[in-house]
Structure 1
Amino acid sequence: MTENEKMLGEERRQLIVETLRTASRPIPGRELGEMTNVSRQVIVGDITLLKARNQPIMATSQGYVYMHAQLAPERCEKTIVCRHAPEQTELELNIFVDNGVTVKDVKIEHPVYGDLTASIMVSNRNDVKEFIEKVSQVNGVFLLKLTDAGIHLHTVMADNEQQIINAEDALRKADILVE
């Protein structure tokens, strides 16, 4: 393939899947586009097609991730209910990651659309900072603002249950945990 030659559809989608499967970090659409000499928008379309083919690809604020089926058996997962003002989002996410907890997503119950879920996938303070900056850059709205009371749920994951318990205790002290 020459430097400016676009990679064709199926070959490009195979490369995308293989790249995401072997990646140790999220890969932005822009970067996938540069690899294949197509626009980010073409990559968005490819990802949509791959998802329709049941490829476990998830879009995060840092880029695309291939969701490997196997979770380490010792990993714990839990859904936690929270409520806070939008400006406390960074505090909330930092409490989770400071306790060794990964925040996978946020869920709300919307009065028109029903249940809405958005991927977050933050595991450390740098991830949180990038997530908050990206929301700000695009003038995004935190999902909690789409609810009457700001109540939302997070699916979280940690190496052990104690990390989740510690995060819940810290959220309780910050008056963010809903019990």
Structure 2
Amino acid sequence: MKDKKKLIGEERRKQILHWLQSEETPLTGNELAERAQVSRQVIVGDITLLKARGVPIMATSQGYVYLNIQEDTDAERIVACLHPPDQTKEELLLLVDLGVLVKDVRIEHPVYGDLTASIMVSNRKEALQFLEKINETKAAYLSELTEGVHLHTLSAKDSATLDEAEQALRHAGFLLE
């Protein structure tokens, strides 16, 4: 590790972008900091600068991801859901088991307006890691601010998969209609 060169300024931001575009899984701020030989806080600043330039980077609970915009062949849908916090695991696993990417959760707050948080889980492992992080940090679900009412942006390979997911949510009693 001592033979690694510390990356400076714009060179570092270009390298961060390259790393994010090259990886299929999220990279944490700590991973990027180690690679660039800087602090995690420097990476947070770099990510902010890249986002300000319009670079499609999203912070997820698993780390940073580069959003490939060419994914417009996927179907996407926003669904309204209602359930208590203790059913979040059931909801997420139901969706990812059908091959659905749960992109985010969104609520309408009476003071702050629309609040959106990235989730970006597409399989059981990612969903369980997300839930574990919620439990470890004792964080509240956004939906707790709205008595369980929330929206999800869902993405799948086709509309039929999203139809199946919507029907499964309805059958489980999670779909708000």
TM-score range, shorter chain: over 0.9
Q: Look up the match of 1:132.
A: 131
CA distance in 2, matches of 1:99, 1:176: 15
Q: Look up the match of 2:117.
A: 118
For 1:65, the aligned partner's letter is V
Q: Look up the match of 1:93.
A: 92
TM-score w.r.t. structure 1 length? 0.94
Q: Which runs of 4+ in 1 moved over 4 A?
A: none
Pairing of 1:63-74 with structure 2 (within 5 A): 63-73=63-73
RMSD, matched Cα:
1.5
CA distance in 2, matches of 1:57, 1:154: 19
Cα deviation per residue 1:61-93 (whole Å; 9 max; x = unaligned)? 1111111111152x1100000010011111101
CA distance in 2, matches of 1:145, 1:4: 45
Gaps (5+ residues) in structure 2?
Answer: none
Pairing of 1:133-152 with structure 2 (within 5 A): 133-147=132-146, 149-152=147-150
CA distance in 1, matches of 2:117, 2:17: 22
Paired residues, number: 177
CA distance in 2, matches of 1:141, 1:169: 27
CA distance in 1, matches of 2:29, 2:168: 35
Q: Look up the match of 1:165.
A: 163
Gaps (5+ residues) in structure 1?
Answer: none
